[in-house]
Amino acid sequence: MPLILAIESSCDDTSAAVVEDGRVRSNVTATQAIHVEYGGVVPEHASRAHQRNILPTVSVALRRAERTASELDAVAFTRGPGLIGSLMVGVSFAKALALALDIPLIEVDHMQAHVLAHFAEAPKPDFPFLCLTVSGGHTQLVVVHSALEQEIIGRTIDDAAGEAFDKSGKLIGLPYPAGPELDRLARAGKPTIDFAQPDPGGLDFSFSGLKTSILYTLQKRVEAEPDYVKNNLNDICASVQEAIVATLIRKLVAAAEQTGLHRVALAGGVSANSELRGRLAQEGRKRDWETFVPKIEYCTDNAAMIGVTAAFKYAQGLFTSQAVAPAARF
Ligand code: KG4
Ligand code: ZN
């Protein structure tokens, strides 16, 4: 019955969760508003904000779980991938706490944890399943053989899907992070513009050409009609969203066909996208898939997914030495 405190600090959210016997008792996240002013995450600001937020976030997580630090059996943390200065805050905090309490440390891979967010609450997929992990930093197609045996069969060769949403949104004047706002505006529009959908082949993704395609297409149209973007904002958003979502779904279908898997899941911040969710459900009905999308609070960065992953590791005695250091890349 391990009681685990989990800490996530890989990017711009400071999150702490208490997971008891694999079940989430609390999940508390402090987001950092400062990055909006800069139109993107500023690493230096992110690490400072983590430093300020981490103790209050952990305290609230323990309080909401009605537990005290002295009851903990292990401390889990995100080792990477992520921003090194941000990771450093969570790793150092976890190490110090585990040392003071004389309990084991458990390192967690942020990307593995996004996939295992499906085990934070029912319905939980049976193994094996196929997972499309789409976040601000990553785009991966993963065959999940078991909790800790995850095989990456496709990935982006340049921008991540979330980055594609954010950078495209920036081009049309939306505030950071543009993904959610673009999703909202697209609902009142139609995908009337064919933006490029570059394809590096196989199960890999490429999104960097989309920005160029948007830039050139809009430049041309603005020359003819100065208010083109303002007057067609909803249709432009729907077209950008279509280019990204159609690519994601095309590769997901190819991966399902190639692996023969019929349990198909989404993970990561971009799985909050309403069009992507809708299209997954549609393909699922057509192809007789069992589909899984976590609750939004478990899609975006959160410590509950770190705690759930740590519970699988605890069961196998996979602990980490105090000599551990964060890893920006794996
Ligand atoms: O997983 P996440 O919270 O953080 C990372 O690990 O990167 O993902 C954040 C990303 C951002 O790029 C954000 O714009 C995107 O997820 N996102 C969305 C939506 N909600 C969040 N993108 C499209 N539509 C949404 N509704
Ligand atoms: Zn993430």
- What residue spans define the domains of the chain? 3-116+299-315, 125-293
- Is pLDDT above 80 for 33? no
- Ligand 1 near 17 CB (within 6 A): no
**pLDDT of 236:** 98
SS (H, E, C) 164-192: HHHHHHHHCCCCCCHHHHHHHHHCCCCCC
Q: State whether the beta carbon of 273 lies less than 6 angstroms from ligand 1.
A: yes
Q: What is the pLDDT of residue 293?
A: 96
The CA 66 to ligand 2 mean position distance, Å, reads 27
pTM, to two decimals: 0.94
Please tell me what DSSP assigns to residue 124. Answer: P
How is residue 28 written in tokens? 């508390």
Mean pLDDT of 294-309: 95
What does the pLDDT read at residue 276? 98
pLDDT given for residue 46 in this prediction: 84
CA of 135 to the centre of ligand 1 (A): 5
Return the CATH class of domain 125-293: alpha beta
% residues pLDDT > 90 (the chain)? 90
Interval between CA 216 and ligand 2 midpoint (Å): 31
Q: What pLDDT was estimated at residue 11?
A: 85
Structure tokens of 259?
């692996």
CATH number of 3-116+299-315: 3.30.420.40
Closest ligand 1 atom number to CA of residue 301: 3
Q: Which residues of 83-109 are buried (b: 16+ CB within 10 A; e: fewer)?
A: bbbbbbbbbbbbbebbeebebbbbbbb
* pLDDT, tens digit (0-9, with 9 covering 90-100), for 249-295: 999 999 999 999 999 999 999 999 999 999 999 999 999 999 999 99
User: What's the pLDDT score for residue 34?
Assistant: 72
